Each structure stands twice: as C-alpha cells, then as structure tokens.
Amino acid sequence: MLLLGAHMSTAGGLHTAFERGDALGCTAIQIFTSSPRQWRGRDLSQRDVEAFRAAWEASSCRECFAHDIYLTRLGTRDPAILGRSRTAFAHEIRTCQRLGLSALVMHPVGDVDADERAVLDRVAASLDAVFEAVPDEGTLVLLETTAGQGANVGYRFEQLARIIERVEQSDRLGICLDTCHVFAAGYDISTEAGWKSMMTELTKTVGLERIRAVHLNDSQKPCGSRVDRHEHIGRGRIGEAAFRRVMRDRRLKGVPKVLETPKENDMDAVNLALLRKLAKAK
Ligand SMILES: [Zn+2]
C-alpha cells in the first residue's frame, strides 16, 4: 500500500487531523501535537487521547507521526535554552507515546556560527538524557535532513550518522528524508545521477533502513543554496521527473511520504493527485 499524505492541521482538536486526511485520501499524515512556535506543549487529557485513537481507528490513515515544535535546540551551548529544549522534547515524546504515534520528526539545531562537531555531540548528549528520562514505548525519533539554514546541522548525512553513532539507545533513532532540504543542502536530486548518488551516500552513512519518513517538497531555491523554501511538487527547482524517481524507488516503498507544501487553493489535492500518478508504473 502506498503510504502517502500531507501534514494536517489539528485546529479543533488533534483528532480532527484524520477527517482532513480522509477528505484528501491520505494513508499517512503528519501533525503538530502543540503549537510549533510555543514552548508549552499540550497536556492531553485521557479523553483527548481516546478521541484521537478512535478517530485514527475509523480513518483510512495508516501512519501518523508528529513534527516537533520549531523552538527546540538540542545542540545549543546556551544552558537555559538547552534545558528548556530537553524538557520540552521529553514532554513531546511522552505525548507521542500516549497517542500511539510511530515517530517524532525533529531538526538537529545548535547555534549560528558554532563548531558543528560540538553541536552534533550536544544533540547526541541531549538525546541520551531524554531517552534516559523517557522509557522506550515504540515512538522513534527521526532526525530530519536539513537545508543547513541558520543554526541547523544535519545537512550532510555524515552529521546525522555521527549523532546516531554517539547515542546510546540508537535503536530509538531514524531519519526523515526531506527532498527540499537535501536539494538545498547540495545533493542535486533533480537529475537521475544525482538521485542515485544521494541514495548511495545515504546507504553508506546512516543506512537506508534508518529512513522511516519522507517529506515530499519541491524547492523554490537552487541546489546548494542552503535556503529552505518549500514549493509545490513539480513547480520548483527539483522538478516533476525527480518526484517520479522518488515515488518509484523500491527502496523507499514502505516508507510513509507526506507533503509539507503551502495549503492555499486546495493545493494538497493537486499535489497528491500528481504524486499518485507519478507512483504508477509507466
Ligand atoms: Zn520537512
């Protein structure tokens, strides 16, 4: 089964994401469990959790995972923000576990102009601390490939591999591959040769089995720009032919794929229709 969908709004309650996903024929969705620009995570009642699980049960969405808030910086050298990030991230994992989500996607972030190795090691130390505090209940943490904008690390696969290597409970970690981010970071997946070599790089560094989610976004900005601007599928610098390769790559067959493209004018429906068409054999 093709696991395909989009990031869904939860306005009106977390459980409402499934109605929106069903309306678009999604089989996989991503949500925020709380407002991404606020530190304060949601404290779900048992009723919220039950409503969520019942809506999921009744829905055609097979996969549901969460994206972490934007404020978390598990690799910062600022002790106050680091402490806050760890507390918020631990809370977020617990929330995902209560909801039964398969994964929580996060960006490895430190400080602008910081020594990147030190940032990677601090991210790993933060994950150790959080995993120590929150026992494993099956929700994976997915390190997202970033565009390398601002204080983001993880724009080279070697950086993600370094984090994974250093985390004690590394079986709780996976990777979320974002097509826009890898392209902006300098992996030219707009060509067939570029896609092949990126997949080879992934295999050699983190390993393909770590890829547990894909974010399907075209890019407004050119390859290597390190600027993260999502564009509708086939309308950016990556192009439609590249998404045909992504959708038909057998190595990513069972991996859930979600859009994070702008929502105006019913564009989710347009993007999803195109992706379904591209996924079908010629
Ligand atoms: Zn993404």
Taking the C-alpha atoms of residue 201 and residue 160, their distance in angstroms, rounded to an integer, is 12
Q: Which residues, at least 6 apart from 161, have a Cβ–Cβ distance to it below 8 Å?
A: 205, 206
- Cα(215) to centroid of ligand 1, in Å? 5
Give the pLDDT confidence score for residue 151 in this predicted structure.
Answer: 94
pLDDT at residue 8 greater than cutoff 90: yes
Give the pLDDT confidence score for residue 41 in this predicted structure.
Answer: 83
Taking the C-alpha atoms of residue 198 and residue 188, their distance in angstroms, rounded to an integer, is 8
Q: Which residues, at least 6 apart from 203, have a Cβ–Cβ distance to it below 8 Å?
A: none
Q: What's the mean pLDDT when you consider all of the chain?
A: 97
Mean pLDDT score, 39-45: 89
DSSP letters for 165-190: HH-TTGGGEEEEEEHHHHHHHT--TT
- Cα(186) to centroid of ligand 1, in Å? 16
Give the pLDDT confidence score for residue 271 in this predicted structure.
Answer: 98
Query: Residue 281 — very low, low, confident or very high, per pLDDT cuts 50/70/90?
Result: low
DSSP letters for the chain: ---EEEE---TT-TTHHHHHHHHTT-SEEEE-SS-TT-S------HHHHHHHHHHHHHSS--EEEEE--S---TT-S-HHHHHHHHHHHHHHHHHHHHHT-SEEEE--B--TT--HHHHHHHHHHHHHHHHHHS---SPEEEEEP----TTB---SHHHHHHHHHH-TTGGGEEEEEEHHHHHHHT--TTSHHHHHHHHHHHHHHT-GGGEEEEEE-EESSPTT-----EE-TTSSSS-HHHHHHHHH-GGGTTS-EEE----GGGHHHHHHHHHHHHHS--
Give the pLDDT confidence score for residue 112 in this predicted structure.
Answer: 93
Give the pLDDT confidence score for residue 53 in this predicted structure.
Answer: 98
Tens-digit pLDDT profile for residues 62-92: 999 999 999 999 999 999 999 999 999 999 9
Q: Please give all residues whose CB falls under 5 A of ion ligand 1, grouped by chain where several chains appear.
A: 178, 215, 260
CA-closest candidate to residue 179, choices 62, 113, 259: 259
- Cα(260) to centroid of ligand 1, in Å? 6
Cα–Cα distances in Å, from 207 out to 105, 160, 275?
A: 17, 11, 25
Tens-digit pLDDT profile for residues 202-229: 999 999 999 999 999 999 999 999 999 9
- Cα(83) to centroid of ligand 1, in Å? 25
pTM: 0.97
Q: List the domain range (segments joined by +) for residue 258.
A: 4-279
Q: What angle do CA 92, 162, 255 make, to 5 degrees?
A: 60
Question: What CATH number is associated with residue 120?
Answer: 3.20.20.150
- Cα(178) to centroid of ligand 1, in Å? 5
Considering its fold, how many domains does the chain have in total? Answer: 1
Taking the C-alpha atoms of residue 213 and residue 220, their distance in angstroms, rounded to an integer, is 22
- Cα(125) to centroid of ligand 1, in Å? 23
Give the pLDDT confidence score for residue 42 in this predicted structure.
Answer: 84
Catalytically active residues, by annotation: 37, 67, 70, 107, 144, 178, 181, 215, 228, 230, 260
What's the token pair of residue 120? 């990677």
Tens-digit pLDDT profile for residues 144-177: 999 999 999 999 999 999 999 999 999 999 999 9
pLDDT at residue 254 greater than cutoff 90: yes
pLDDT at residue 282 greater than cutoff 70: no
Query: Residue 265 — very low, low, confident or very high, per pLDDT cuts 50/70/90?
Result: confident
CA-closest candidate to residue 252, choices 168, 178, 157, 173: 178
Give the pLDDT confidence score for residue 72 in this predicted structure.
Answer: 97
- Cα(165) to centroid of ligand 1, in Å? 23
Q: At what angle do helices 79-99 and 116-133 cross, to 10 degrees?
A: 50
CA-closest candidate to residue 89, choices 50, 34, 144: 34
Taking the C-alpha atoms of residue 242 and residue 225, their distance in angstroms, rounded to an integer, is 18
Mean pLDDT score, 247-265: 96
- Cα(144) to centroid of ligand 1, in Å? 7
